[in-house]
Each structure stands twice: as C-alpha cells, then as structure tokens.
Amino acid sequence: MRIMLDIRYIVNNLKEVQNALATRGGEYPLGKIVSLDKKRRDILQEVEQLKAKRNTVSEEVAKLKREKKDASAIIAQMQEVNVRIKTLDDGLSEVEKDIKDIVLGIPNIPHSSVVIGKSDEDNKVEREHLKPAKFKFTPLPHWELGEQLGILDIERAAKITGSRFVVTRKMGATLERALINFMLDTHLKHGYEEIFPPFLINRESMTGTGQLPKFEEDAFAVKDTNYFLAPTAEVPVTNLLRNEVIPEDKLPINYTAYTACFRAEAGAAGRDTRGLIRVHQFNKVELVKFAAPEKSMEELEKLTADAERILKLLELPYRVSQLCTGDMGFSSCKTYDIEVWMPSYERYVEISSCSCFSDFQSRRINIKYKTKEGKSAFVHTLNGSGIAVGRCLAAIIENYQNEDGSITVPKVLVPYVGTNIIK
C-alpha cells in the first residue's frame, strides 16, 4: 500500500501533525487514520498467528499421513483457518483502501521554517530585484500592444480553439522560441540535465505527484484513455525515477525540461484571464531536483536562485515571497513564489513557484536513495518553474515597451532573435 504521508509518524506524533496541518486551514480526519491503522495492524497480527497455526497443522497432517492415521479432523480445522485467513485478507484490503482514500486528501506537513498564515496577505516578501521603471507615458497592457504590433493574435486563437488561448506570430513567435532556448541553455550551464518528456501522462503519474485526485477538475483528460495532457513538466520528469533506488553519491539530481502545459483552471476569472497570464495552454521550462533529506532545504534555495537568474539576466524587476502555510500548494512543505512586475497591472504577478515536497511525492511513486552503509530511505523531491514562458513574454512586452509602440529586446535575447527592437 503506497501512502502519501508516513502513517507511523502520524500515529506517533498525532498532536504535532494535527497542529501543523491546522495552520493550512481545513479539517483532516487524522484520528480516523490512527484508528484504521490500529485495525490494520490487529488484522495483520491475527493473520500472522493463523498462518503460523496453519503451518503447524500442516506438519501434523503430514505426520499422521505418514503414520497412516486419520487426519480428517485436523484437515477440517485447517480449512476453517483458511476461511478465516481469506476473510481477514478481504478485510485488510478494505481497511487499506479506506486509509489510502483518506490520506489522498491530506496535504503535506509544512516545514517548521514556513511562515504561519491564512492567505496570500500573510506571505513574507524575502527580497526584491530592481525597482519598477516609471514610464513617461501610459504603458499599454501586453495584449493591446501585442495585437497592435501583430505579434499576438487572440481573436484568431479564439476562432481556432476558444477563449483563453493565444497565437504568437512574427517576432512574437520568434521571441517565445528564443525564451525557451535561452532558459534551457542557461540552466544547462548551471548543472541541469535536459529532458524532453511526453506531453501525455497517465493517471498513475498524475496521482504520484499530487495532481490527482484533488485537482482533477483542473486537468485536461483525453477521452476514453488513461491519459491527461501535461499540466506541468514536473509530472513526467519527477516520474522518470519512479520505483528506482538512487545511489546517495548521485544526489542531487538536477533536471530541466520544456513542455507545453495544459490547465482547465476551473473557476478562474477576472482580469488575469486576458492576454498571456492565465490561459489554458502555455509553454514553460521546469526545474526538478532529487535530494537527500538533510540537503533538501539547501537545494530549495539553490533552485529558487536558478529560477531568479533568468529574470536577472533579462533585467526584469521581480520579488521573491515565502508562501505562508495557508497559501502553499497541496504537495509542498515549503514554497517560494517569484513574482515579476507588470506595469499595466501595477502589481507583481507570479512567474515561478519553487517548492520542496519532502518525501510526499517519493512515497507515492516509490523513489528511494541508498546510503554508502546500504540503508535506503525516501528521497526528497523539489521543483520550480524556470520559468513560465508566456508570462515572461508578457512581462518583456510591458516592461520593455517604448512610447512609439515598439519593444526593446532584452540584451541577452538579441543573439537569439537577431534584432534589438520589435516594431
């Protein structure tokens, strides 16, 4: 039975876990898990005793048969034992299913260093990079400027598919492709291995990283198949090592991957659904790490810095916030959000979310590491956007716009696009 949280830890530290999860908001039936786990262990103990008895009886039957004596009474007794074992096994399967169903709905336990709070208003700003520029003219939102320049085509995208899809074209398409290559090239220079995974993912993989069952309404399922469209490269890349044991000296493992991402985002509405900020299909470069437990918080800081490096090189103003317990994602034990400044919004907008999941995901998909002493334990997984390409494109259009309606190309992208201005 694969579980998402350490049941033994919950049983032995019930009050501590209850208090930690209470900071996330909501109520979680931990007491029921404890009682079900006791029932499970009681069943296992009885089954063990009955199997031992069955072995003894089998030996007695064999002895009686060798001595040509009547063994019918003992055989009947053994048949009763077999029936009881079958009944207990069926009961065990039911109890384990009940435990799994409950645990699937319980989020990860926040790390002790996470800020306690109820909503994004309680998040802690850790640092800022560059001050937002002050324009001498009224800056246009990226969707208006993009359409004026002919590099964004929202109307035709709606004709092709529907609302909240965007076609990039001309220098817009070139710039988007340039951003993907620039991000991947940068991460490869800093110790990441590039992965190009499938965009179709099976249910087991989605469940393994925590997207299912809780967020199934936000996923795009392929009708009459076991497949889903990738919501993020985190899912296929983390599942690369499913059911594997990693030698400790190979850690940390650092992967980077580009995928198109698909999200229904049921219920989302408002200004963010215009343009490139909240769409159903978008491009993203992802960073995924596998680390030893004692190194995972250190690796989270490195991961966040690697995502920040992209925005620093693009010279975009941004800030980094630590998410409070009430605003963290379901699978995360600690998260930093990187938010880029959007002039037309007059606020920061998330462009990357960097998280440590402790052993929450690795327990689901059975990824372990082995120490030099031969002991094995669940590895810690981490991931972060490195970064969201569409939102980055939107940020460049808005922050680099000029009064004449042109867009200056960031210096690091000029070799990729072949020009320093988009008119």
Q: Are 187 and 287 in contact (CB under 8 A)?
A: yes
For range 84-113, the mean pLDDT? 93
Average per-residue pLDDT for the chain: 94
DSSP code string of 385-415 = EEEEHHHHHHHHHHHTB-TTS-EEPPGGGHH
pLDDT at 205: 96
Give the strand pairing for 376-378 and 380-388.
unpaired
Q: Are 259 and 230 in contact (CB under 8 A)?
A: yes
Q: Is the pLDDT of residue 180 over 50?
A: yes
User: pLDDT, tens digit, for every residue of 106-127?
Assistant: 999 999 999 999 999 999 999 9
For residue 62, what pLDDT band results from cuts at 50, 70 and 90?
confident
Residues 229 and 225: their CA atoms lie apart, in Å, by 11
pLDDT at 206: 96
Coil, strand or helix at 153: strand
Q: Is the pLDDT of residue 230 over 90?
A: yes
What's the token pair of residue 258? 């580009």
User: pLDDT, tens digit, for every residue of 162-172?
Assistant: 999 999 999 99
Residues 321 and 339: their CA atoms lie apart, in Å, by 8
User: pLDDT, tens digit, for every residue of 241-265?
Assistant: 999 999 999 999 999 999 999 999 7
How many CA atoms does the CB half-sphere of 366 hold within 13 Å?
6
User: pLDDT, tens digit, for every residue of 187-216?
Assistant: 999 999 999 999 999 999 999 999 998 889
Question: Which of 352, 106, 369 minimizes the C-alpha distance to 253?
Answer: 369
Q: Is the pLDDT of residue 3 over 80?
A: no
Question: Which of 346, 342, 340 minimizes the C-alpha distance to 385?
Answer: 340
pLDDT at 61: 83
pTM for the structure as a whole: 0.92
Coil, strand or helix at 383: strand
pLDDT at 56: 87
Q: Is the peptide bond before 106 cis (omega within 30 degrees of 0)?
A: no
Percentage of the chain lying above the pLDDT 70 cut: 97
Question: Which of 300, 298, 303 minimizes the C-alpha distance to 191?
Answer: 303
User: In which region does residue 26 sit, left (phi positive, over 0), alpha (psi from -120 to 50) or beta (all else)?
Assistant: left
Coil, strand or helix at 265: coil
DSSP code string of 51-86 = HHHHHHHHHHHHHHHHTT---HHHHHHHHHHHHHHH
Percentage of the chain lying above the pLDDT 90 cut: 84
DSSP code string of 102-147 = HHTTPPPPPPTTSPP-SSGGG-EEEEEESPPPPPSS-PPPHHHHHH
User: pLDDT, tens digit, for every residue of 12-41?
Assistant: 999 999 999 999 998 899 999 999 999 999
| Helix then strand then coil, % of the chain, to nearest 5 | 45, 20, 35
pLDDT at 267: 52
User: pLDDT, tens digit, for every residue of 284-305?
Assistant: 999 999 999 999 999 999 999 9
pLDDT at 315: 98
